[in-house]
Amino acid sequence: MADATPATNRRVDWLELFFDLVFVVIIKQITDLLHGDPDVADFVLVGAILVPVWAAWLNVTTFVNRAGDSSTGARLSILVSMAGVALIAISIPEVMTSGAPLFALGYALARLAVWPVWAAQRRREGGGILQPTVYGPGLAALWLASIAVPDAYRPWVWAALVLVEGAIFVRGIDGTDFVAGHIIERVGLFTMIVLGEAVVELILSVRIGQSAAAWLIAALGFALICSFWWMYFQSGTRVTERVLGHSSSGVIRDVLAGAHYLIVLGLIGVAAGLGGAVEQADHDHLQFSTVVALSGGTALYHGAQVLTAWRYGLPMRLLAAWGVLSLATSAVVIVFGVAWAPWVVVLVMLVDSLLHAATGPIVARRVRAG
């Protein structure tokens, strides 16, 4: 695997920021799937849908990162890919029924749009185009073909395709060189979008005239979101900038594709959980699904940080001391939290997150020492 290129002069392009706007809508639509009283199938659906959505974003982001291509053709291809992602966003509320064909069409379009410039870039690098062809037109054709599959069998076909997408995440593309500074900034901006959705969900769930319990939960929830921001941007980003500039492409792939998938998924759960907690503030206890969304989302977020630190080379014995308490707290809340007052559940998750954030610098110093 090739090493990362520090290249501090590469900045995020305005077109990339424009491209991200459609993902603001997508994150909102996915979060809405967890409103009400979602069941196990709804949680699985959210995790599954996020895989191709994340792949569509990574496809454009890694292309721009590697090629830095500002040609008219490349820019037009990104805009077409953005249109495909917009179709995905429209389809999400009915993705398993009437929206399924639109989802498949949008995802295929998002993949196909950037394939010509991906292939051209590979040829300029002296590499083969088989991998980008399989990754682009190959998978796009399979998603388009799924439109013809009967509704009863399409979920199984999509599950297989999602597994293929996951395998591509794990394997990556051979010989990939990343400009570390640019891609760190890109995933940071995407994480900010998802944090923004959590803020929106929380604020819109509060109404003037609601009970003191609702306002208390809103305040605790806001502090919880702030703790997530602090961990990522105040502590984690500094370590990432220092480490990834000299890391192999495999480490970058795992941290910025795999771990960030878990971060995004976790924040979606927290956003839905906080919104539900405010709405249920005056109940004796929260719905079990709300407890799972909030505590499970927090666990995913903290777990992703532990996995990231492990990928940076920290010993597992140190990471166990850092992460086990947090993950155990989330597990206890999932098991027993349904019997607690709503504000108690949010308070416990806030304390858990603050402890995780407070001990994070200790881990960061070990990364620096290493």
Tell me, what's the pLDDT at 298?
96
Alpha helices in the chain (DSSP H): 14-32, 40-67, 72-91, 100-124, 130-133, 139-145, 154-171, 180-205, 212-229, 237-244, 249-253, 260-279, 288-311, 316-336, 342-369
Domain range annotation of the chain: 14-171, 180-369
> How far lies 94's CA from each of 32, 102, 202, 261, 351, in Å?
12, 10, 24, 23, 37
Residue 353 tokens, joined: 């997150």
What single DSSP character describes residue 125? T
Tell me, what's the pLDDT at 8?
47
The model carries a pTM of: 0.90
> Comparing C-alpha atoms, which of 203, 285, 197 is closest to residue 20?
197
What distance in Å separates the CA atoms of residue 100 and residue 248, rounded to the nearest whole number? 38
Q: What SS3 class is residue 140? A: helix
What distance in Å separates the CA atoms of residue 180 and residue 47, rounded to the nearest whole number? 27
> Comparing C-alpha atoms, which of 108, 244, 138, 248 is closest to residue 188?
244
Q: Are 55 and 165 in contact (CB under 8 A)?
A: yes
Q: Are 353 and 232 in contact (CB under 8 A)?
A: no
Tell me, what's the pLDDT at 54?
92
Across the chain, which has 370 residues, the per-10-residue mean pLDDT values are 48 89 96 94 95 90 76 88 96 94 96 82 70 81 94 91 77 62 86 96 94 97 96 72 60 79 96 96 96 96 86 73 84 96 97 87 61
DSSP assignment of 67-85, as one string?
H----HHHHHHHHHHHHHH
